[in-house]
């Protein structure tokens, strides 16, 4: 059984919510199974950010899949990072791709994809998808499982 790293700042600690993504600190831990390819998935069905023009809230269902190499993202730091977008104004595309790029910079994974499924505002849903390239050969990549927006029909 692996022991908990002692250098983490948020895990097991009471920490304040970061005011912005620039203030949030993503943390990583060693991957105990770096000898094999597998997919780790994080789902944030209640992600929120702000429209940079109107300041109104935008809501999304985020799905992050990655094939780790040497590092895993520490989940509490990821939650705090994602919550930091609640008061951050940015378009859906900017927000989704930034999250993906920030995770890639931290983890240097073998592969990563993110799907941002934004709920409609002004009558139009916007879905944003980004990935680093092709997944490793022979790695099972499940569908993200988020149905396209169908309105009330």
Burial category of 65 from C-beta neighbours within 10 Å (exposed 0-12, middle 13-18, buried 19 and up) = buried
Q: Is 139 a catalytic residue?
A: no
143 an active-site residue?
Answer: no
| Distance in angstroms (rounded) separating the CA atoms of residues 19 and 86 | 9
CB 131 within 8 A of CB 112: yes
Spatial separation of the C-alpha atoms in residues 86 and 65, rounded to whole Å: 22
Q: Which of 22, 35, 58, 65 is catalytic?
A: 58
Rounded Cα distance between 75 and 68, Å, is 14
Q: What is the DSSP letter of 53?
A: T
Backbone dihedral angles phi then psi of residue 96, each to the nearest 5 degrees: -65, -50
Catalytic residue among 51, 69, 102, 139: 51
83: closest CA among 50, 132, 130, 126?
Answer: 50
Catalytic residue IDs: 51, 58
């Amino acid at each position: 059984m692996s022991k908990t790293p002692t250098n983490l700042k948020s895990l097991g600690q009471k920490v304040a919510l970061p005011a912005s993504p620039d203030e949030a600190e993503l943390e990583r831990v060693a991957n105990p199974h770096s000898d094999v390819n597998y997919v780790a998935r994080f789902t944030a069905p209640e992600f929120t950010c702000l429209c940079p023009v109107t300041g109104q809230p935008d809501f999304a269902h985020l799905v992050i899949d990655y094939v780790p190499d040497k590092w895993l993202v520490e989940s509490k730091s990821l939650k705090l990072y994602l919550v930091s977008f609640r008061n951050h104004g940015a378009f859906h595309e900017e927000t989704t791709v930034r999250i993906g790029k920030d995770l890639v910079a931290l983890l240097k994974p073998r592969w990563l994809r993110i799907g941002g499924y934004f709920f409609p505002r002004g009558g139009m849903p916007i879905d944003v998808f980004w990935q680093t390239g092709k997944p490793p050969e022979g790695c099972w990549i499940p569908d993200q499982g988020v149905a396209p927006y169908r309105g009330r029909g």
